[in-house]
Amino acid sequence: MKVVFFGSSDFVIQVLESLNETQTVLAVITTPDAPVGRKKTLTETPVAEAAKKLKLPVLKFESLKTVETLTELSELQADIFVVASYGKIIPQTILNLPQFGVINIHPSLLPIYRGPTPIQTALRNGDTTTGVSIIKMDAEVDHGPLLGQTSTNIEPNETFRGLSLRLFGLSIPLLNQALSECEAGTSKPTEQDHVNATFTKSLAKEDGQIDWSEPADKIFNQFRAYDPWPGLWTKWDGQFLKILDCKPSDMASKSSPGTVIEPNSVVCGNGTTLTLISVQIEGKQPTDIQSFIRGHKSFVGSQLL
């Protein structure tokens, strides 16, 4: 079929590559270039870079609500649109364009975890199972009928990036089947159980701040969910300290939560402890925790906030 792909994140490049092998991709729609890094350099999305390597046309609409955008998409005369981690809400006027509608890949077992952060929410909550859903989009967020779904276990140390790559990889055979059924006219969409729907929220930097009164396993889940953004962070000596890598420790302590104890752990709620592996103090380069402690003699025994 003639497909237009909407996507932005690097972990959906594999979906685009698969579509390019099995369908006719007319164009790739991605979000506009955005400032990245300390120098705020305008940078293309990973999907834009991948599409150019595949020699596919790339469109970056500032708004999906203009007449010009609607006209340009209409002129492509696509059979179907496929959306995966795009980053913008698609209005009904665009959903109405293709003959077979718009398919969305959503990385959760819908109706659980509708909204923008399903993977982060599953990891933050310590879930052991998740999945991916293929839906036909309608006017409401992640509300449309199911065209396919599969579940998978979440590994104990799996982080956002690794799980994202794995889930969108699992979506590829489901997507191929859904496209085939749409083209053959054998698709049988299944209404979601809307009564049991749950919703996720957008993330802010504050979500990465550690509450040291929480048990170590919950803080570790926070790290898994928010790596790389907003990251896991705390305050030490009046500065932001990013926790770049960590793991729960078997060691127990009666010290107050937030206390740094030897050799490289922090006391958490219920006497549990979190071992620090690598960190980054505000304005400095990342470093392993042993090097950080050697350069900051007052760190062990201090209090993290």
User: Tell me: the pLDDT tens digits for 275-302?
Assistant: 999 999 999 999 999 999 999 999 999 9
The helix-helix angle for 13-22 and 160-184 (nearest 10°) equals 30
| pLDDT tens track for 70-79 | 999 999 999 9
pLDDT, tens only, 184-195: 999 999 999 999
Secondary-structure breakdown of the chain: helix, strand, coil percentages, each rounded to the nearest 5: 30, 30, 40
**Tens digits of residue pLDDT in 120-166:** 999 999 999 999 999 999 989 999 999 999 999 999 999 999 999 99
Confidence of residue 41 (pLDDT cuts 50, 70, 90): confident
* Ramachandran category for residue 76: left, alpha or beta (phi over 0 → left; psi -120 to 50 → alpha): alpha
Question: Per-domain residue ranges for the chain?
Answer: 2-196, 205-295
Question: Over the stretch 42-68, which tens digit does the pLDDT of each residue have?
Answer: 899 999 999 999 999 999 999 999 999
Fold of 205-295: Methionyl-tRNA Fmet Formyltransferase; Chain A, domain 2 (3.10.25)
pLDDT at position 92 over 90: yes
pLDDT beyond 80 at 270? yes
Pinpoint the alpha helices (H) of 96-231.
118-124, 160-184, 216-225
Two tokens at 132? 């991916």
- Quick check: 265 pLDDT over 80? yes
Q: What is the pLDDT of residue 167?
A: 98
Mean pLDDT value of segment 90-101: 96
Using a pLDDT cut of 70, give the percent of the chain over it.
100
| Res 38 pLDDT > 80 | no
- Same fold across 2-196 and 205-295: no
What mean pLDDT comes out for the span 105-124? 98
pLDDT value for 87 = 92
273: which 2 tokens? Answer: 């402890």
Torsion 95-101-106-110 (CA) sign? positive
Average pLDDT, the chain: 96
Determine the straight-line distance between the first and last CA of the chain, rounded to whole angstroms: 55
Q: What pLDDT does 29 receive?
A: 98
Give, in degrees to the nearest 5, the angle at Cα 91 between 88 and 95.
110
Which pLDDT band holds residue 39 (cuts at 50, 70, 90)? confident
pLDDT tier at 37, thresholds 50, 70, 90: confident
- pLDDT exceeds 90 at position 225: yes
pTM of the model: 0.96
Q: Which long-range contacts (CB under 8 A, 24 or more apart) does 269-273 make?
A: 269/212, 269/213, 269/214, 269/215, 269/216, 269/218, 270/215, 272/215, 272/216, 272/217, 272/248, 273/216, 273/248, 273/249
What's the CATH class of domain 2-196? alpha beta
